[in-house]
């Protein structure tokens, strides 16, 4: 088992997804790693069925509900074009390198119905949720960060996924204190609900 697969498996061993796919697709899905990000709502490319209150325990306890979803494992997210940003983070007031695909591109890969007013409800593993519009996510170039300073982010830190942008390059945010720049950037991101 390679390091990335081990980290993903260890990080989310208790958060697996129920896949409602034809037998041949289900067999192929079984070879994939655990789901790190589940996208629900207004999507046209589901790859799994409805919420399972046993297997999707965290989502169930956070009162989520859906009939279909698109689950991304680490490999699926890594296959999307990644960009690098270098925001100054509030935790140590130093610039750090974050890398991952653009949030809007992840939504497109799930077949999300997007317009400027589409709302993306970004939910973290602790239940914290932030809402950004597609216009905001596009203008501020939100990414789904998978790496911090060249290393995959682990559960218990900021990862394994973080919805974040380069606040230093957004004038209205750069003028704010560091502690006020990332209120709409949930770390430990695991669910996005697309609302049109």
Question: pTM for the complete prediction?
Answer: 0.84
CA–CA dist 125, 75 (Å, integer)? 20
User: pLDDT value at position 10?
Assistant: 41
Q: Per-residue pLDDT for the chain (196 aa), expressed as one digit of tens each? A: 444 443 444 444 433 333 344 443 444 445 579 999 999 999 999 999 999 999 999 999 999 999 999 999 999 999 999 999 999 999 999 999 999 999 999 999 999 999 999 999 999 999 999 999 999 999 999 999 999 999 999 999 999 999 999 999 999 999 999 999 999 999 999 999 999 9
Name the residue ranges covered by the structural domains of the chain.
3-195
CATH number, span 3-195: 3.90.420
Specify burial of residue 4 (Cβ count, 10 A radius: 0-12, 13-18, 19+).
Answer: middle
Q: What are phi and psi of 170, to 5 degrees?
A: -110, 105
Q: How far apart are CA 45 and CA 136, in angstroms?
A: 23
pLDDT of residue 32: 77
pLDDT of residue 8: 42
Q: What is the pLDDT of residue 31?
A: 59
**Residue pointed to by tokens 């260890």:** 10
């Amino acid at each position: 088992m390679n390091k990335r697969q081990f980290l993903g498996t260890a990080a989310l061993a208790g958060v697996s997804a129920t896949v409602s796919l034809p037998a041949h697709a289900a067999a192929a899905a079984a070879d994939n790693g655990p789901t790190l990000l589940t996208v629900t709502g207004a999507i046209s490319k589901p790859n799994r069925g409805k919420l399972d209150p046993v297997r999707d325990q965290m989502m169930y306890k956070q009162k989520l509900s859906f009939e279909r979803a698109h689950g991304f494992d680490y490999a699926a997210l890594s296959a999307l074009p990644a960009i690098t940003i270098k925001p100054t983070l509030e935790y140590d007031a130093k610039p750090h390198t974050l890398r991952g695909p653009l949030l809007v591109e992840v939504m497109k890969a799930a077949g999300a119905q997007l317009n400027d007013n589409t709302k993306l409800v970004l939910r973290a593993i602790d239940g914290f949720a932030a809402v950004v519009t597609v216009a905001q996510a596009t203008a501020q170039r939100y990414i789904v960060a998978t790496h911090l300073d060249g290393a995959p982010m682990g559960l218990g830190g900021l990862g394994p996924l973080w919805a974040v942008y380069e606040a230093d390059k957004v004038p209205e945010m750069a003028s704010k204190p560091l502690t006020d720049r990332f209120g709409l950037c949930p770390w430990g991101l695991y669910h996005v609900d697309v609302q049109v």
